[in-house]
Amino acid sequence: MIQHHRKILSSIAAYLIGAAAILAPSLVTAEIYKTRDAQGNVVFTDVPPKDQSETVKLSESSNYTPPVAQDSASTQSAPPQDEEDDEEAEPTTYSTVSISSPAPEEAVRENSGNVTVTVRSAPRLATGHTYTLLLDGQPVGDSSDGVFTLENVDRGTHTLSARITDKNMTIVAQGPDQTFHMLRFSALSVKRRKAG
């Protein structure tokens, strides 16, 4: 009976010491000793016993700090912005739009009448923008890389110009007019040579 009470008291003491170590951080730093009594029961104590014992190393207790409740108005996140919205919010301003090829007043010698036109801008073309090429004031094509191939262009002097449009086909920037001369073989020139 006494032995049974000692076992219960030993278990209760172990439970209380463990609970106190968890609940009271100051007790975590105290030394806990584990010994066995005369009957072989395990006894935990914070008083160093005179006989042989081992020190029990307790793990540090972890503290949990709940997050501070925030006002529902401040926790609502802003709706994600679309990349296209950003472009509209900060429109690109082009300092130049120019035709780099053919050069101004260049004579293009191509009997088929084909000519490659290259348009450049500073800064580079923004996403959602397009180059539009005009030949003698008429749009002849759109490009995102600034390269156009014109076919069967008539002999003579022609005017090129380029502009940049956005996704709504609104003109964002326009470059100056530039002339070039298309030189093509003519059957009339052969007749003149034979006649001369």
Domain boundaries, the chain: 2-56, 90-185
CA-wise closest residue to 133 among 178, 181, 88, 95: 178
> What integer pLDDT is reported at residue 1 of this predicted model?
62
Query: 107: buried, middle or exposed (CB in 10 Å: 19+, 13-18, 0-12)?
Result: exposed
- For 90-185, CATH number? 2.60.40.10
> Is the pLDDT score of 23 beyond 70?
no
> Is the pLDDT score of 137 beyond 60?
yes
> Is the pLDDT score of 191 beyond 60?
no
Does pTM surpass 0.85?
Answer: no
Report d(CA 35, CA 77) in Å as an integer: 58
